[in-house]
Amino acid sequence: MDSVGVAAATPEARPGPAWQSKCPWGAPSTTSISCSLADVMSEQLAKELQLEEENAAFPEVVAAAEGPFITGENIDTSSDLMLAQMLQMEFDREYDAQLRREEKKINGDSKVSISFENYRKVHPYDSDSSEDEVDWQDTRHDPYRADKPTTTPRRGFIGKGKDITTKHDEVVCGRKNTARMENFAPEFQVGDGIGMDLKLSNQVFNALKQHAYSEERRSARLHEKKEHSTAEKAVDPKTRLLLYKMVNSGMLETITGCISTGKESVVFHAYGGSATEDKVIPPECAIKVFKTTLNEFKNRDKYIKDDYRFKDRFSKLNPRKIIRMWAEKEMHNLTRMQNAGIPCPQVVILKKHVLVMSFIGQDQVPAPKLKDVTLSSEDMKKAYYQILNMMQQLYRECNLVHADLSEYNMLWHDGKVWLIDVSQSVEPTHPHGLEFLFRDCRNVSQFFQKGGVAEALNERELFNAVSGLNITADNEVDFQAEIEALEKMNEDHVQNHGKKLSTFSSDGDPPIYDE
């Protein structure tokens, strides 16, 4: 950041329009070019100088589609947007420092202090901590709460005899009103009346207050609009900056481009950077960015809300944090699968709503989904048995149900099937866990039966083979009903014992309790 030469610039006294008094990007460097009179008159030279100047002011923009998306080398000059964001970040940080100084100056040793906390501009992504965001629902600190005014005693007057002053005293009120202007937002210019003994009448003060508040609301509205429009795009500025940081830190070498845009996530390909002390970065990575457009996740609430691992946290969280939980969930589930030896992406790092994992594929080409690949009947059969095996491992060793298993979320790579997309995966004792498993089984058995694998079990047989349960119903409807009855039994058990069974068991083994 220092390399762009903004760190040294400090805005002047008031936190408002600092750019008016001093350029936050530092003084422009003036280069004096000495030349002869002939040179000065030369049209050719004039053109050249002009060109030079233009080039310096507007560095050439590399088209994102052609060149690499983000690389260590081109980052500083290729993206005007990124540059602007970095500058903005730097500017905001200085603004906040100034705000703190201002706050200190105003509060001094006073017992009653005011806070500008809500006017701070430092962005949540400007920190590596994941717990740095101000919680939306955190109302403990409310800067809009009026400060206690210096009070007139209960009896409503002070002094004695002819020196008596009541709370309605014009002079006292006027001074109080002037002091109250400090409660307006700092960007609302109230002038410098200190030492002038200004007295504002109630009427003037109220008019000013109204105006200050409506200005504040107007700027909040504008801000809101801006936030919405960025959320519509695939990657918002916050995410871009997170990605930029990964490249800048050397963890990633280059982010080459997007390999998938889904409703809930965008996936990028990247070349891995240098290894750190505790981590080996794979040569190629996939970056899954969970979309921060909040609406998309609403219909997936049930997966996480009823997952007891996340239950306690769910109700306390704001939507942005819930999205981070999806990413976190995918990370945990992938780790479990990795430990069980199931072929799946290996987790590299999780940063907020961005999950970096190993790339399944080669040379930027992602492995094809099972639905897109034409396999020989031999490979098809091999894939089927592998999946049967993986589903059992997933259930028994990882204590997980994929919950979105289909030919869309299985990749064919290196002669075998790889499982991906496990953010929605749940434990089998999730209130709908067995239903999800049954749906997975239906997808898998239909795909392989259609694909000509004669040995493929039907969905009910597959369900029993994976879960170890022995549901005997010979038709779909009854089977489904038995599944739901089992789920209900489990829920009742939770109600009565306050604890979940970690596995469904039909073989008389004692139930195993989790954690």
Nearest approach, Cβ of 351 to ligand ADP (angstroms)? 16
Tell me which of 421, 427, 459, 487 binds Mn ion, using CB under 5 A.
Answer: 421
Q: How far is CA 114 from CA 142, 205, 410, 468, in A?
A: 11, 19, 57, 64
Cβ count near 496 (within 10 Å): 8
DSSP code for 454:
T
For residues 15 and 24, the answer to whether their CB atoms sit within 8 Å is no
Cβ proximity to ligand ADP: between 59 and 341 the closer is 341
Cβ proximity to ligand ADP: between 406 and 467 the closer is 406
Cβ proximity to ligand ADP: between 398 and 471 the closer is 398
Tell me which of 409, 425, 443, 445 binds Mn ion, using CB under 5 A.
Answer: 409
Cβ proximity to ligand ADP: between 79 and 423 the closer is 423
Distance between CA 200 and CA 197 in Å, rounded?
Answer: 10
Nearest approach, Cβ of 485 to ligand ADP (angstroms)? 31
Q: Which stretch binds ligand ADP (CB under 6 A): 5-13, 101-109, 123-131, 354-362?
A: 354-362
Nearest approach, Cβ of 262 to ligand ADP (angstroms)? 3
Tell me which of 14, 121, 199, 369 binds ligand ADP, using CB under 6 A.
Answer: 369
Q: Which stretch binds Mn ion (CB under 5 A): 39-47, 84-92, 408-416, 460-468?
A: 408-416
> Using CB distances below 5 to 8 A depending on partner kind, what does residue 259 bind out of Mn ion, ligand ADP, none?
ligand ADP
Beta bridge partners of 290: 265
Helix (H) or strand (E) holding 391: helix 377-396
Question: Does 293 engage in binding with ligand ADP (CB under 6 A)?
Answer: no
Nearest approach, Cβ of 408 to Mn ion (angstroms)? 6
Tell me which of 359, 436, 438, 447 binds ligand ADP, using CB under 6 A.
Answer: 359
Cβ proximity to ligand ADP: between 11 and 366 the closer is 366
H helices within 29-107, ranges in order? 37-41, 43-57, 75-78, 80-107
For residues 337 and 357, the answer to whether their CB atoms sit within 8 Å is no
Q: What are phi and psi of 161, to 5 degrees?
A: 55, -130
User: Contacts with ligand ADP in 427-456 (CB under 6 A)?
Assistant: none
> Using CB distances below 5 to 8 A depending on partner kind, what does residue 260 bind out of Mn ion, ligand ADP, none?
ligand ADP
Distance between CA 221 and CA 273 in Å, rounded?
Answer: 41
Closest CA to 24 of 3, 10, 4, 34: 10
Q: Residue 205 region, left (φ>0) first, then alpha (ψ -120 to 50), else beta?
A: alpha
Question: Does 328 engage in binding with ligand ADP (CB under 6 A)?
Answer: no
> Using CB distances below 5 to 8 A depending on partner kind, what does residue 159 bind out of Mn ion, ligand ADP, none?
none
Question: Does 361 engage in binding with ligand ADP (CB under 6 A)?
Answer: yes
Map residues 247-276 to x or -, x wherever contact with ligand ADP holds by CB under 6 A.
Answer: ------------xx-x-xx-x---------
Nearest approach, Cβ of 68 to ligand ADP (angstroms)? 18
**Where do the DSSP E strands lie in 119-264?**
157-158, 165-166, 252-261
**Where do the DSSP E strands lie in 352-395?**
354-358, 361-362, 365-366
> Using CB distances below 5 to 8 A depending on partner kind, what does residue 332 bind out of ligand ADP, Mn ion, none?
none
Residue 330 CB contacts under 8 Å (≥ 6 apart), including other chains: 288, 355, 421, 422, 423
Closest CA to 67 of 79, 55, 49: 79
Active site residue 404: yes
For residues 427 and 309, the answer to whether their CB atoms sit within 8 Å is yes
Cβ proximity to ligand ADP: between 96 and 264 the closer is 264
Beta bridge partners of 356: 287, 349
Distance between CA 239 and CA 428 in Å, rounded?
Answer: 33
Cβ proximity to ligand ADP: between 103 and 407 the closer is 407
Q: How far is CA 159 from CA 175, 255, 273, in A?
A: 18, 74, 76
Closest CA to 409 of 351, 467, 343, 348: 343
Tell me which of 334, 354, 360, 457 binds ligand ADP, using CB under 6 A.
Answer: 360
Question: Does 440 engage in binding with Mn ion (CB under 5 A)?
Answer: no
Catalytic-labelled residue, pool 96, 307, 404, 440: 404
Q: Binding residues for ligand ADP, per CB under 6 A?
A: 259-260, 262, 264-265, 267, 286, 288, 345, 357, 359-361, 366, 369, 409, 420-421
For the annotated catalytic residues, the residue numbers are 404
Q: Binding residues for Mn ion, per CB under 5 A?
A: 409, 421
